[in-house]
Amino acid sequence: MTLRAVIKAGGSAGVDRDAVADLVADVARSDEIVLVHGASAETNKLAEALGHAQETITSPSGHSSRRTDRRTLEIFAMAALGVENFLYVEKLQQRGIDAIGLSGLSGRLLVARKKDVRAVRGEKTVLLRDDYTGKVEAVNLPLLTQFIGPGRVPVVAPLALSTEQQALNVDGDRVAAAIAVAIDADALIILTSVPGLLRDVDDAGSIVAEATLAEAEALANGRMKVKILAAREALEGGVDEVVIRSASGDTNVRTVIRS
């Protein structure tokens, strides 16, 4: 029986691309896989090389994120498409997998709504009208399914097209969840720089092997909150399970989340 899964590879410096490519290639030889990747570390490196200062903003709810002005969006696209997507396609081809590099802009693969981004500045909360981030609202399933099959993997960079025909930066974890729902995937696998969901963020041995969605939400901190939000969106959309595990560690050390 052929299974379908979406694998999301994080973009932080701790993610081993070769380990990701090994996993994707092994699974893709018999099952149907979509690979979604991030590009945060490469974006930071490229922005520094180009002399474009990165700004971290804090939302009224206390969530910190990168501000995506137009120049940062362009740098992110360079990092995502020119480095990450390029390398994953190359590595998968080297492993005998017919990988196809895409972004959400390709053929309107991902359509998103531009966010109203608000940031706390001193004692004020301001609306950042020049921020180019969004939330995926539609996946072009007829287009995507043309590239899915055993031995063939679409590699998707997290950029989307807005309803106003503008490019947007969209969160990779939530992109992976949206695609998993759209293709009726059996699983969403999130590969990251940590071994899974931890009870204590300072203790790698405190991993939670299995959790309900409610339990995972109660334990999540920091960036893990976004991954658990993606897990919620996937599970509520019909995906059977979400797995969070290290991109390079023991495959038996992981967190499995079910409804």
> What pLDDT does 166 receive?
96
Q: With 80 as the cut, is the pLDDT of residue 63 above it?
A: no
Three-class secondary structure of residue 52 per DSSP = coil
249 pLDDT band (50/70/90 cuts)? low
Average pLDDT in the 200-229 region? Answer: 93
Three-class secondary structure of residue 134 per DSSP = strand
Concatenating the DSSP letter of every residue in 176-243 gives: HHHHHHHTT-SEEEEEESSSS-BSSTT-TT-B-SEEEHHHHHHH--TTHHHHHHHHHHHHHTT-SEEE
> What pLDDT does 132 receive?
96
- The residues near 156 (Cβ < 8 Å, ≥ 6 apart) are 34, 35, 36, 37, 102, 103, 104, 109, 110, 175, 179
Tens of pLDDT along 8-42?
A: 999 998 899 999 999 999 999 999 999 999 999 99
Q: What is the pTM of this model?
A: 0.95
Tens of pLDDT along 107-148?
A: 999 999 999 989 888 888 988 888 999 999 999 999 999 999
> Percent of the chain at pLDDT above 70?
100
d(CA 149, CA 248): 25
Contacts 24+ apart (CB under 8 A), 220-225: 224/194, 224/197, 225/63
Tens of pLDDT along 185-211?
A: 999 999 998 899 999 988 988 999 999
Domains of the chain, CATH where assigned: 4-191+232-248 (3.40.1160.10)
The DSSP symbol for 115 reads P
Three-class secondary structure of residue 30 per DSSP = coil
